[in-house]
Amino acid sequence: MSALLAVVHLVSLCALGFALASLLARRPGGAPRGGLFVLSVAPGIAFLINGCATFARLYTGAFGPETQALVCIALGAAALAYCIRRRAFPAEWRARAEPASPIERRLTLVGGVLCAVIWIAFVAGDPEGPVDAWRNWNLKARFMWSAPESWRALFGPDFPGTNADYPILLPLNTAALFTLAGDDTCLAPITIAACFTIALVGLMRAACAELGGGRTAWCLLLMTPCLAPYAARQYADVEMSYFLLAGTAALFFALRDGGARDYLLAGVWAGAAAFTKNEGLPYLAGAGAAAAAGALAACARRRNARPFGGFLACLAGMAAGGSALWLFKADVARHAFAIETMPIAVLGVPPDLPARAGTMCLRILAVLAKPSVWALLPVAIAAVWAGTRVAPGGRGGAAALAGAPLAFVLAAYCAVVLIAPVDPDWLVSGSAGRVIFQVWPGFLFLWAARTIAPANVNTCGAVSGTRLHGAEESA
């Protein structure tokens, strides 16, 4: 791929993500959310689109990177032209939040400087990334870039210990950056981690501003201790934390306001999380259960003429990441010749079952036969039941229901730890901390959503600019 085509491809991908974010990140009344919110959402959309396109290229082998670049350029130009014609870009680019106190500003500044220093130290000390990052993410990315025609060999016995069943959204994007750069430079994974770190901080600020302001400084400050160790380690935890925060915020806004776009975005982020790490699988199930619970509650209270429209929009949003994940997992099950420990156990399918069964139905039954799935089923039932007992239009009910998928992630992790043979040293040294970091920003947002008194949003679901819809009539 020529350098000019690579640059145009990258610019078009950014434009496509920004245009789609401008169209989707809107309030139920159609008013666009703030520009910072759109800018923070755009990298995640572009990341998912590029990953799915690269996966389609590798999976089918029907087209090359040049064709992928040309299609992305055409789609980016069309989406950008449509947004310009419809004037779909946000008018306000600064997130409006309540001013923080001097002590909050100072502490946030100290936390930001500390995070930057730790990031620089990690990058300078280990630019190639830790062993886990190299084995689970960067090695796969280099293999996909250098030998795309035989990338399935990663599942074979020549690559033991690579956790072949780990979802590959991050390696796919890293391999795409290798293709654009023409070299397997270590700057590619470093750039991705840095971009998502900035996007995570921006999304937290923008989401808190959408709540009406306040608590922003405390959320950013409390996020710093978890963010600093992972910002430059080239793991998938920063990306996972970003997707879980974005999904939690979208699900909260959807349950509170009833917007179809928010439900669609919640599904998109859930699918992206599932295609990023295995911890995203329970989040995908929990998000679907929460959306169904919101629909049941709205139907019971007759709050919406089409109560299941949001649930269907959420399922539609899950299609991209969920379908790619399913194809990848099925490929792993077919080609896993000598995978060592947990990969197939997490999937729930014995390594030899796909060869003997050969049908999707038996694979589904094998997943359902996994004890950890049945152990988690009461949690999903409890989440749906709780959703029918609370009003999703209120802050408390929406926050509780939007937090159910995050709790589902923790419950799934605990179930796997209890059922599967896990090394305690490995658990204490990093695994548990990574899972906590993944869900921590989402819980911080829900804490802010539960405690901030909204000044610009009507909890009955109608929004008009920055004022309560119907406030003048009530006055």
Mean pLDDT by 10 residues, the chain (475 residues): 82 90 85 86 94 91 88 91 83 68 79 81 78 78 85 70 80 90 85 90 89 76 78 84 95 88 94 91 89 80 68 90 85 57 42 42 45 52 53 64 88 75 60 84 89 50 33 31
How confident is the model at residue 394, as a pLDDT? 56
CA distance 265 to 310: 11
- Tokens standing for residue 53: 């396109």
- Tokens standing for residue 195: 């971009």
463: which strand partners? 468
How confident is the model at residue 451, as a pLDDT? 79
Of 10, 44, 8, give the one whose Cα is nearest residue 24.
44
Scanning the structure block, which residue is given the tokens 């995570």?
Answer: 200
How confident is the model at residue 42, as a pLDDT? 93
How confident is the model at residue 341, as a pLDDT? 38
CA distance 205 to 199: 10
468: which strand partners? 463
Helices (H) and strands (E) in the chain, counts: 22, 2
Cα 182 off chain centre by? 28
How confident is the model at residue 384, as a pLDDT? 53
How confident is the model at residue 349, as a pLDDT? 45
- Tokens standing for residue 408: 């589902």
How confident is the model at residue 90, as a pLDDT? 77
The long-range contacts involving 342-351, CB below 8 angstroms and separated by at least 24 positions, are 342/163, 342/416, 342/420, 343/163, 343/164, 343/165, 343/166, 344/165, 345/420, 346/165, 346/278, 346/416, 346/420, 347/165, 348/372, 348/373
What b-and-e string marks burial along 410-438, b requiring 16 or more CB atoms within 10 Å of the CB? bbbbebbbeeeeeeeeeeeebbeebbebb
How confident is the model at residue 466, as a pLDDT? 32
CA distance 398 to 303: 15
Of 437, 456, 2, give the one whose Cα is nearest residue 225.
437
How confident is the model at residue 343, as a pLDDT? 40
How confident is the model at residue 420, as a pLDDT? 63
- Tokens standing for residue 63: 């087209």
How confident is the model at residue 345, as a pLDDT? 41
User: pTM (2 decimals)?
Assistant: 0.83
